[in-house]
Amino acid sequence: MESCAQKKKYAAKDYKSDLKPIWCPGCGDYTVLNAITRALAELALPPEEVAVVSGIGCSSRIPAYTSVYGFHGVHGRALPVATGLKLARPDLTVLVTGGDGDGFSIGGNHFLHACRRNVDLTYIVMDNQVYGMTKGQASPTTAPDWEGSKLTPEGTGINPFQPLVVGLASGANFVARVSSSDPVNMAQIIVEAIRHPGFSLVQVLSPCVTFRPEQAEWRDIVRTAVVDVTDDAARAARRLMTDDGFNVGKVLYKGSRPPFRPEFENTSGSVAELEARFAL
């Protein structure tokens, strides 16, 4: 076993900023922040070599609560910002954090193409099936009969989005579901997600205690998935389509597709050569 001194260059709290989170007490996102910081400490990544990118929403506040480089952009666009950053700076470890509304509704198209493109990113989605920051409207993952929002008082009546299945179908290279009630397991999965090349998708069941108080029961409903990781996307998708959404704690799929990484070639070409082509 490695000694502490050899291994532990960083503690989890080294990855936390001094900024005090504004999340509601009991929010699952606190756990996610803790899991991310633990994962980074375990990977012993220098904070300046990590970037966390987000859009808008409660969970998108995470970058400012970390001590790594952060980018807090506009609603739904975290994935393209992260894509540009990672492609321009392949040396950085880039995480993307956000919620179900940010990622699967307004940012839905980017989600599909981020999976397809398979850039080496880790996307941690805190799914609470509700828009929290705007006071509790139905999100893409909300059940059709949820009547808790003034905007859709009789429920949305439309089918919930299946992020992991869609992720698999679109080409995500790593798929896992975890629960905010098990932060240590979450940290372990996030470590695996970061280490796995390509686009890693981690769905976190992260209750909204304010607008979906019934989600407090999730901690008692979730169970550790009894399946082993597969490299067969169809198999993983079949499992996900037939489960109730509460099998957590495992990596469900690990693919081997090489990440999209256009090379900044150190070519001998020069601007003068480009210009020469225009000369008569």
Q: Footprint of other proteins on residues 1-30 (CB under 8 A)?
A: 1-8, 11-13, 17, 19-28, 30
Cβ-proximal residues to 223 (8 Å cutoff; 6+ apart), any chain: 246, 247, 248
Query: How many residues line the site for other proteins (CB under 8 A)?
Result: 100
Which residues in the 153-192 window bind other proteins by CB under 8 A?
A: 180-185, 187-188, 191
Q: Is the Cβ–Cβ distance between 174 and 201 less than 8 Å?
A: yes
Work out how close the CB of 156 gets to other proteins at its nearest, in angstroms, rounded to a whole number: 20
Among residues 66 and 162, whose Cβ is nearest to other proteins? 66
Q: At 211, list the tokens.
A: 């607008």
Which residues in the 239-268 window bind other proteins by CB under 8 A?
A: 262-267
Q: Which of 45, 59, 63, 166 binds other proteins (CB under 8 A)?
A: 63
201 vs 166: CA distance, rounded Å: 11
- Classify strands 122-127 and 93-99 as parallel, antiparallel or unpaired: parallel
Q: At 67, list the tokens.
A: 């001590």
Q: Is the Cβ–Cβ distance between 172 and 186 less than 8 Å?
A: no
Which three-class secondary structure state does DSSP give residue 6? Answer: helix
Q: Does 103 bind other proteins (CB under 8 A)?
A: no
Which residues in the 202-231 window bind other proteins by CB under 8 A?
A: 207, 209-211, 216, 219
111 vs 271: CA distance, rounded Å: 36
Q: Does 150 bind other proteins (CB under 8 A)?
A: no
Which residues in the 69-98 window bind other proteins by CB under 8 A?
A: 69-77, 79-89, 91-92
